[in-house]
Amino acid sequence: LVKVLLVDVDSKIANLALMKISSYHKSKGDEVFLYRHRAKKNFGFEFFDVDPGLVYVSCLFTWNRPLAQSINNRFRGKPLLYGGTGFDHGRPASERNYLPDVIEYASPDYDLYGNDYALGFCLRGCNRKCQFCDVPLKEGRIKLADYRPPWTWVPDGFTKAMLLDNDPALYPDKLHDEIFRWFMSSGVRCSITQGYDIRCVTPERAALLAELNPYDLKFHDHRLYIAWDYLGVEGFIRERIPMLLDAGIKGVNISCYMITGFAPATKGPDRCPWDGADLTGPHAADLHRYEVLWKDFGVLPFVMVYNNERGDPWLRAFARFINRRVFKHTEWADYRGWLPEKATPPDRGEKIAVENRDDFR
Ligand code: SF4
């Protein structure tokens, strides 16, 4: 029997892969230890009292990869297995680490994190090809034949579930409705963790989403996550957000992710065809998306800084302004006003960029 150490470098929610690995090893009688690092700067001594025979390291974010690799120094000579998007982001499927089937199809060990919510996929993959996103490379297109209905993976007795599907809005209506109607009829509260593709909203789907009333990642508030990454989909934003609002979903219960610092996403006309806003200048598209979302529709924007880039003071300030919701009581011009034009804004040590949506797995 082996002592197995699972190192979760940076997951924000329970890590499904580690939960499955735990199940597998416990079923063999191995002793399993979890160490959650929560993306802190350095590894301390917290898990040094465990002398494992096998170590798994999961890292979700590429910028934490050096940190994750530093574990190697502590466990030299021990078998160490690395996995997660932080290690293989951008690589073709053939060059990635996937769990062997015996682990992939194991039921997750819910005792590992002690979470009271179920986690799972009905389907993996996405048929879109956003250039900043790893899902098309990692998961490929949606394979409907792999469908696992939610009632097969939400354990009995659970009243909350995180749906991890990459883009469930792309499913055909029948399948889409079956999944979400099951959550409603079973009474299991659902969080659509990877967001709902605004381009696929119809009045019927908006009504269904309003009835579902999905939750945020903590199951504290009602929250529908959507995204406006490419400036060019403004037409969908302006057409489909009103469908959600008309169906009864409040703007403040919608969070819209916006990728920033990723140039291809912000290409567009010099002037907004709808409101004439000037879209020239390095950050005009970022400000414009915020203004449309919040000022026109009352939807809460959320900035994701591409690659957690820290070299653009404007962007860091903007991310703080948006993600701390300063915009609710202060104009950007006023907030920006007290920042020295070229100086790096004060960094209070908080992570502004959150995970890529596809990294919640
Ligand atoms: S960002 Fe979303 S819609 Fe775009 S490729 Fe990734 S999973 Fe698909």
Looking at the chain, the whole-number percentage of residues with pLDDT higher than 70 is 92
Q: Are 8 and 32 in contact (CB under 8 A)?
A: no
pLDDT band, residue 75 (cuts 50/70/90): confident
- When pLDDT is averaged across residues 69-83 and rounded to a whole number, the result is 90
Residue nearest to atom 7 of ligand 1 (CA): 166
pLDDT band, residue 349 (cuts 50/70/90): very low
Looking at the chain, the whole-number percentage of residues with pLDDT higher than 90 is 79
What is the CA(81)–ligand 1 centre distance, in A?
Answer: 28
167 lines ligand 1 (CB under 6 A): yes
Per-residue pLDDT, 358? 38
Mutation test residue for ligand 1: of 121, 129, 135, 355, the one with most atoms within 8 Å of CB: 135
Interatomic CA distance for residues 261 and 289, integer angstroms: 13
Lowest mean pLDDT among 59-73, 100-114, 325-339: 325-339
CA distances from 64 to 78, 97, 276, 287 (A): 21, 17, 41, 29
Q: pLDDT tens digit string along 195-228? A: 999 999 999 999 999 999 999 999 999 999 999 9
Per-residue pLDDT, 348? 37
Q: What is the model's pTM?
A: 0.91
